[in-house]
Structure 1
Amino acid sequence: MAGEAPPPASGGPSDILVTVDRQLRPSRSVAFAASVFSPRDLEAIGVTDLLGVARNVPGLVAAHVPGAGSANGLYLRGLGTSETLPGADPAVVTLVDGVVLPGVNGNNLGLFDVERVEVARGSQGALYGRNALGGAISVRLKRPSEEFGGFIEAGYGANDRWQLRGSVDMPLADIFRIKLSAFYQDDHGYARNPVTGQRLNDGDRAGLRLGVLLQATERLSWNASVAYMESNGENLLNFRCDPAAPSECGRRIVSTGMVTDRLLGGGPQYSLPITGRKANFTLGNEVSTTLVTSDLQWAGESHRLNILTGHVSNEEVSALDYGDGRGLPDIATPRPPVRGFADGGRSRLTDGSVSQISQEVRLSGDFGFLDYTLGGLWLDEERTADVADLQTLEDGTAAGQPLLLGDRLLRSRTRAKAGYGQLSARLLGDRLTAAAALRYTDEEKRLSVRENRAGCTAAIADCLTGVPGETLKTKQWTPRFALSFMAAEGVNFYASAARGYRSGGWNAGALRRDALLATEAETAWTYETGLKSVWLDGRLRLNLTGFVLNADDRQLPMLREDSASVALGNAADYRNRGVELEVAATPLAGLNIGLNLTYQKDRYAVSDALGLTANGLKTVRQQQQDCAADLAAGKLPLGPSGYAASNCAVGLVTADGSLATPTHTPDWTLALNAAWDVPVNQSGIILSPRASLVYRSRMETDSANASLYEGASAPAFDGSVFPANALGGGFISGSAAKALWLLNAGIEVRTDDENWRLALSCENCLNRAGGEASLYGYSYLNPPRSWMLSARRRF
């Protein structure tokens, strides 16, 4: 049960104990799809952070959020978000020792001293509550050991990356022991900026954790930890070829004119009247997180009481240029020339903070054949963001002039209370298990806005002055039902149905008052049936899952009545169907092979209603009708000012007026990995090569599937023809992300007592590049090839 440290996996791919359903049990007996990674598994696939784990989970597509290297956009079976501002919540929750991390800021955790990582796939509202619409990623940290010991590791790699990691367990008394862990990583960044001469897109990290375990009596224990983490890394727009010299390719290039250091001379950092501390922020993304977890546990013979307390505080300082120091692309200028604008091409400055405290009480146990879990949760979260948006004009007499598009202070507060229960009955000699769970959540969410720009009044549409504070209230029932049948020893069939929800919110990135609108909660039912099995004395594990996902009221961009602005609305329902296969095998002693394969097919479902919603947003069908009228009038999708078909290639309507394909859901994903421990002639040395091959098929990354292509446009209403088009041809930039293969590999030499290890590894060894996200018409690429040489000593 939660709070009890499970033993590590042993041998081959034998079953391990997990807590994904809030009870400690073998993973093969959990009646829904779950992927579990032990420390040995993480080393075998060569991953060191949650982004790497996500790429090895069926149905999960993950990438750094545009601009921010510390945040991951997570899309599980098509449900997810990359929004970082207050007012938007994730659709896949991340937990550390049972404590939910707020939002996506800082969720790309480094993994080096964990017990295991568990990924519950599908709606998990009954077990994890709000925002577990698509699933939940749970990180379980190692507890202090009964024996003194630890390790220290140092490494050097590509881009002058230095890495230090270490941990030590110190039993101070029979009833009291502590664990101290730390890590440090510094590099110069993989992208070069010829405009400023700086290196960018680095991955600097540091952290310190103190874990405490007090075994006061045989039944009463307290497990707590305090961790402080810093992440200073960007995911700035970069290119394989120099935009100023397209024939020069090979290294990643950034061309923003923003700098990472304070300007000389003591003048203002930006040439605009920006308010607050953010006026002096320099290019970069810095996130610091303090995480406190506490688990006070009383364990009886058949019953267990856990009092779980969590506190998370998060500070973000960022200045990010999403326009690469130049204009935004369209069919007239598909490759804007390098300008090196000092205020950036399309920039955002953010001074943000999050403070969350949660308290959970859980009682679990069994009455013979009946297992139960009962609990209650209280959560209070406050998020603040002081935000300014800038854009520098490219064309006309005002070329090079920066504009302050918005400067506002956003505050949101969420208070939630929940009660939940789960019953599992073991029948037919424990061969049949029937489970039912139910959670009730009462949630209140409030957003307030303060306009910072002088001279802004309620009469100016582009000002946020006069926006009233608004409160969203929701009461959600999220049930789950499951059956599991053990047909033979180690062979389990299961079926389940579960509901989840994602909180309602606001389009917090809105720059106009009429676009700052509220959305209602998203809800989803996930239906699964599958097989979990262990064969050949534990040398083969095979899991097969089929799922049907029906999500309603997706929070997606919709077009305003005047077609001049976009706002979030409950635009469409969503349907996804798929099959997921997981195989882990040990065909030979020391050889471990893993395979994950997913096929999914999804679509949006929209109402046939025409007209406007109550908030003044066009229905999707109305926008499609208006797009057809734009095209018939000789307007062009993604055209320049005066020529643009403003109802096309925006929201959920594509450039040709059709309904868009959902984002971040490739039809096929695959992860194949192998690791082999080879003893060297009884020398006490083990040689361990490993390799991991990851594939995803083509996908879209923008809600409207908007991309720019080679080839002249159709003639506009006045006969004008532009050098690019939005309908097809050779891809230039935008939403379309081609199929991508990635190879990670490594080799290590270690002593058979595990006390010494020397390892050489590479990520994206073949240096493949492909789109992972898009914004403002530009494509964001995956990181290039990197390598690391490290040595570890265990004591």
Structure 2
Amino acid sequence: MKPKSFSGRALLCAASMSVISFVHISPAFAQQGDAPQTAEEEATGDIIVTAQFREQRLQDTPLAITAVNAAMMEQRSQSNLSDVVKQAPSVQLLPATAAFGPSISASIRGLGQGDFNPAMEPGVGLYIDDVYYPRLTGANFDLLDVERVEVLRGPQGTLTGRNAEGGAIKFFSRKPTGDGGGYASATYGSRNRLNLRASADFELASTLFARISGAFSDQDGYVQNIDFDCAHPTGGLPVAQSGSSCVRGTHGDVGYRALRGILRFVPSNSVELMISADYVKDVRNQGAEVLLYANNPSPAVATENGTPFDSRFICGPRCNYAVYNSYAGPFQGPVATGYPLLAIDGDPRSRYESWGVAGNLTVDLSDSINVTSISAYREWTSQFSVDGDLSPAATGFGLNDLDHWFVSQELRLNAKVNDMIDVTVGGYYSDERTTYWTLQDLRYAPIPLQFIGNDPVNTDSKAVFGTIIVKPLDALTLTVGGRYTDEHKDYTFRRLNPDGVTINPFLGALNGVKAVYDGTRTDYRVSVDYRFSPEILAYATVSTGFKGGGVGPRPFNPAQARGFNPETVTTYEAGIKTDLFDRRLRLNIVGFFNDFKDAQLTLLSCPQFGGPGPCALPQNAGNAEQKGVEIEFSATPIDGMTIDGSASYLDWKWKCVNPAVVGQADGPCSSDPTVIGLLTDPLEGWKWAIGAQYKADLGDNGSVTPRVDVTRQQALPGNNLRAAAGSPSAIFGQIPGYTLANARITWANAADDLTIGLEVTNLFDKYYFLNKFDLTGVGAGALSGQPGRPREWAITVKKKF
């Protein structure tokens, strides 16, 4: 990895040098982006967004877009990305299962990804200050000194580009202004929660400003990890924890530190250069999971003393018996019985560490032409262990260590040709490498699978894009955009014995195999919008998007080393944006229809590809149609009171399914209902959120603002294959919908520079599941789930200066 990493740094240095040279040769420069809001904008709740690479009022942007500023996030007690999107219609962002480490699953309108593996593309574009973040690992961003978040729903293939078939989520940091301001806040709450945040803004020179921000977060977990034999001393297993509690530790804890700095150089009214750097360290115990089903009588997966894996290891609603190791001994499965297996020790802690630098340069070449250059480099590492059965049994255990770097360069030109025509053209390039080292011990398989993988994954992407916006009439706007993308990915398999040297005898046919994916794609967007009055804007759009193809990253035999093609979507969308009753009611409604082709689904059972045994194979499952409606509103019925909310309904129908994906003979995509019925519908039903607050003015004593938020998450399916009635997957593997309520009351002094807030999340202490991990289909006999956080309280003191 190291030689390629130095190459990435060299590319960044070259890009940065070109940026600096550009500053010297370009006398004119344009400032873009986060302009301060006027008093009228603050009063009316307007947010300025840059979703179309130019500043526009949210209500003037003909896109399905949710924008949330820093004040809204604070009012709702939101501290990370997953908190923000709970209020956005059709958006799902949840922490991934423990098997996928410190990552997230993300989808918009049912399109996205939940697998952290670098062979898979996210399907939802994630951006920090216009810099693409290509992986789901570490992607539940903390809202550290964020100015606003924009959530763009629907394909963004011509605007934000890479792998944004479902949509894009964009973070924008606060810009340094040199005003000498800043803030400091401290939070204390349930289970020794401690959050410290601070930010300060400096003027270093008349044209040079800086801003530095930091965050520190600690909290004990809410799922106990209990020593099984300490709690059940007659079990005959080694005791690792003594004492009356038998608790080894807690899962679902927090251990997060972050630091971010930004330099902003403004040598003239037409030049702006921002250089940012950040560092994140996140160390915590593995995901807060509990065992829901356990049944595998095979002696190959029994505990070290021969205790079978069964329901005795189901601990309870907020505890588990995970051990994070596997013992040495002869394999007791049906094939290669007696094969020696080594003991493996892991760490219950999950570690994620990252740093990155970026340069954003904007230059006004004239009053009507500006150029933007965005250069970035990022590295991260991630280590985590996975106890697949959450018990002293030995169904499966794994160590995982990922090392990643990413470099990107984007250049775009905005031109106002005349009063009627605006044009954007640009180019994009990125290069990426992830090395995925893993030591797996899968004893539920019919053959002994104890092996090391050390797989380098290379990805690069090149694109050119353009958009033209035409206003033939004052009230009428036409938008046409296109993007051409050329992608390459190669994945090299290493399958060695645990000594890291000799070839594994059962997977050796895969060792050294290099799989390559190359693909090109042209996307387009055509939109028309018409402003009927200052209060009403209507628009209609046809747009396309895609998620890149690749090769299955987890083959257990040569037949599973199969590629898969990109999945694509064409979206037909119409919407209306309104500001009614003297701007006391804002109501936005969107309806859409998705024509979805070559859906990528990961199969956990695939005897059709190499016989029985483990499977984790992504394949193109077929074509589907999806329709939905999205509603957002905010109202000010009386002065001081605000009511806001959103709702979305999604309906998914498979049109045809590839028979081989559901275990049948290979053939053309089938519309036979019996074939289609073997797949689940990924996402259907209602998701909604509503919140209300009232600011009571206390005169010289400041103000008090109580707020209540209620969110509804629709039910989610389990595995992609439909569960048989009465099966463990049907009984335990589905994820029911749930409704949560949060409450907060905030006091602010008269100067509004000191606030004290008391919050309660999950007010009614609802027990619910964020996700589930079902390994019954591959023969492990284990099914686990991640319960959400229980009721928690916290008090926050914040001082602005």
TM exceeds 0.5?
yes
Alignment correspondent of 1:444? 488
Following TM superposition, where does structure 1 have runs of at least 4 consecutive aligned residues deviating by more than 6 angstroms? 239-249, 454-459, 620-625
Alignment correspondent of 2:14? none
Structure 1 pair 345–206 and aligned structure 2 pair: CA distance change class (3 A): farther
Alignment correspondent of 1:534? 579
1:206 aligns with 2:257: yes
Alignment correspondent of 2:749? 751
Distance in 2 (CA, whole Å) between partners of 1:188 and 1:611 is 46
Bigger fraction of residues in helix:
2
Structure 1 pair 704–393 and aligned structure 2 pair: CA distance change class (3 A): closer
Alignment correspondent of 1:520? 565
| Structure 1 residue identity aligned to 2:95 | H
Residue from 284, 288, 295 that aligns with 2:360: 295
1:6 aligns with 2:35: yes
Alignment correspondent of 1:127? 159
Give how far 1:123 is off: 0.8
2:223–2:319: 8 Å Cα contact kept in structure 1? yes
1:155–1:162: 8 Å Cα contact kept in structure 2? yes
| Structure 1 residue identity aligned to 2:541 | S
Give how far 1:83 is off: 0.8
1:3–1:306: 8 Å Cα contact kept in structure 2? no
1:143 aligns with 2:160: no
1:501–1:521: 8 Å Cα contact kept in structure 2? yes
Alignment correspondent of 2:221? 189
Alignment correspondent of 1:229? 280
Give how far 1:357 is off: 0.5
Alignment correspondent of 1:677? 695
Distance in 2 (CA, whole Å) between partners of 1:210 and 1:11 is 27
Distance in 2 (CA, whole Å) between partners of 1:515 and 1:574 is 25
TM-score calculated relative to the size of structure 2 = 0.82
Structure 1 pair 707–92 and aligned structure 2 pair: CA distance change class (3 A): farther
Alignment correspondent of 1:54? 85
Distance in 2 (CA, whole Å) between partners of 1:255 and 1:519 is 38
Query: Which moved further from structure 2: 489-498 or 511-520?
Result: 511-520
Distance in 2 (CA, whole Å) between partners of 1:444 and 1:83 is 19
Give how far 1:538 is off: 2.7
Give how far 1:200 is off: 1.6
Give how far 1:32 is off: 2.0
Distance in 2 (CA, whole Å) between partners of 1:106 and 1:786 is 24
| Structure 1 residue identity aligned to 2:35 | P
Alignment correspondent of 1:779? 785
Q: Secondary structure of 1:235's match?
A: coil
Query: Which moved further from structure 2: 785-794 or 466-475?
Result: 466-475
Alignment correspondent of 2:318? 252
Distance in 2 (CA, whole Å) between partners of 1:697 and 1:458 is 47
Structure 1 pair 786–392 and aligned structure 2 pair: CA distance change class (3 A): farther
1:561–1:618: 8 Å Cα contact kept in structure 2? no
1:383 aligns with 2:434: yes
1:149–1:168: 8 Å Cα contact kept in structure 2? yes
Structure 1 pair 540–445 and aligned structure 2 pair: CA distance change class (3 A): same
Give how far 1:348 is off: 2.5
Residue from 303, 307, 322 that aligns with 2:373: 307
1:13–1:540: 8 Å Cα contact kept in structure 2? no
1:462–1:512: 8 Å Cα contact kept in structure 2? yes
Distance in 2 (CA, whole Å) between partners of 1:685 and 1:129 is 46
Q: Secondary structure of 1:184's match?
A: strand
Alignment correspondent of 1:793? 799
Deviations 1:466-500 (A, max 9, x none): 45212211111011010000011131000001111
Q: Secondary structure of 1:214's match?
A: strand
Give how far 1:69 is off: 6.7
Structure 1 pair 576–611 and aligned structure 2 pair: CA distance change class (3 A): closer
Alignment correspondent of 2:9? none
Structure 1 pair 457–319 and aligned structure 2 pair: CA distance change class (3 A): closer
Distance in 1 (CA, whole Å) between partners of 2:703 and 2:291 is 41
TM-score calculated relative to the size of structure 1 = 0.83
Distance in 1 (CA, whole Å) between partners of 2:291 and 2:708 is 27
1:37–1:117: 8 Å Cα contact kept in structure 2? yes
| Structure 2 residue identity aligned to 1:526 | T
Structure 1 pair 454–678 and aligned structure 2 pair: CA distance change class (3 A): closer
Alignment correspondent of 1:410? 455
2:31–2:362: 8 Å Cα contact kept in structure 1? no
Distance in 1 (CA, whole Å) between partners of 2:94 and 2:260 is 26
Query: Which moved further from structure 2: 782-791 or 439-448?
Result: 782-791
Query: Which moved further from structure 2: 8-17 or 522-531?
Result: 8-17
Distance in 1 (CA, whole Å) between partners of 2:715 and 2:48 is 36
Structure 1 pair 236–517 and aligned structure 2 pair: CA distance change class (3 A): farther
Alignment correspondent of 1:317? 383
Distance in 2 (CA, whole Å) between partners of 1:293 and 1:107 is 17
Structure 1 pair 563–372 and aligned structure 2 pair: CA distance change class (3 A): same
Give how far 1:237 is off: 1.6
| Structure 2 residue identity aligned to 1:497 | V
1:18 aligns with 2:49: yes
Query: Which moved further from structure 2: 784-793 or 559-568?
Result: 559-568
Distance in 1 (CA, whole Å) between partners of 2:505 and 2:664 is 18
1:424 aligns with 2:469: yes
Q: Unpaired segments of 5 or more residues in structure 2?
A: 1-29, 228-240, 242-246, 295-309, 327-339, 776-782
Alignment correspondent of 1:604? 654
How many percent of aligned residue pairs carry the same amino acid? 23
Alignment correspondent of 1:285? 350
Structure 1 pair 519–659 and aligned structure 2 pair: CA distance change class (3 A): same
Alignment correspondent of 1:581? 631
Structure 1 pair 662–389 and aligned structure 2 pair: CA distance change class (3 A): farther
Distance in 2 (CA, whole Å) between partners of 1:750 and 1:612 is 58
Q: Unpaired segments of 5 or more residues in structure 1?
A: 261-270, 326-339, 629-652, 710-724
Distance in 2 (CA, whole Å) between partners of 1:246 and 1:743 is 32
Alignment correspondent of 2:710? 693
| Structure 1 residue identity aligned to 2:283 | N
Q: Secondary structure of 2:559's match?
A: helix
Residue from 616, 640, 662 that aligns with 1:590: 640
2:656–2:670: 8 Å Cα contact kept in structure 1? no
Residue from 662, 669, 679 that aligns with 1:660: 679
Structure 1 pair 381–616 and aligned structure 2 pair: CA distance change class (3 A): farther
Alignment correspondent of 2:307? none
Distance in 1 (CA, whole Å) between partners of 2:293 and 2:75 is 34
Deviations 1:269-327 (A, max 9, x none): xx9658xxxx66411221112122211111242221111111121110111223212xx
Aligned length: 705
Q: Secondary structure of 2:75's match?
A: helix
Structure 1 pair 623–513 and aligned structure 2 pair: CA distance change class (3 A): farther
Structure 1 pair 3–624 and aligned structure 2 pair: CA distance change class (3 A): same
Aligned-residue Cα RMSD (Å) equals 3.1
Q: Kindly report which structure 2 residues correspond to 1:431-580, keeping only aligned pairs within 5 A, or say none.
A: 431-453=475-497, 462-463=507-508, 465-558=510-603, 559=606, 560-564=608-612, 565-566=614-615, 567-580=617-630
1:237–1:322: 8 Å Cα contact kept in structure 2? no
Alignment correspondent of 1:263? none
Q: Secondary structure of 1:43's match?
A: helix
Alignment correspondent of 1:648? none
Give how far 1:129 is off: 1.4
Q: Secondary structure of 1:128's match?
A: coil
Distance in 1 (CA, whole Å) between partners of 2:512 and 2:186 is 52
Residue from 422, 427, 447 that aligns with 1:371: 422
Q: Secondary structure of 2:72's match?
A: helix
Give how far 1:345 is off: 4.5
Alignment correspondent of 2:70? 39
Q: Kindly report which structure 2 residues correspond to 1:63-74, keeping only aligned pairs within 5 A, or say none.
A: 63-67=94-98, 70-74=102-106
Structure 1 pair 255–244 and aligned structure 2 pair: CA distance change class (3 A): farther
1:152–1:792: 8 Å Cα contact kept in structure 2? yes
Distance in 1 (CA, whole Å) between partners of 2:428 and 2:744 is 43
2:625–2:654: 8 Å Cα contact kept in structure 1? yes
Alignment correspondent of 1:361? 411
2:695–2:703: 8 Å Cα contact kept in structure 1? yes
Alignment correspondent of 1:238? 290
Distance in 2 (CA, whole Å) between partners of 1:312 and 1:324 is 34
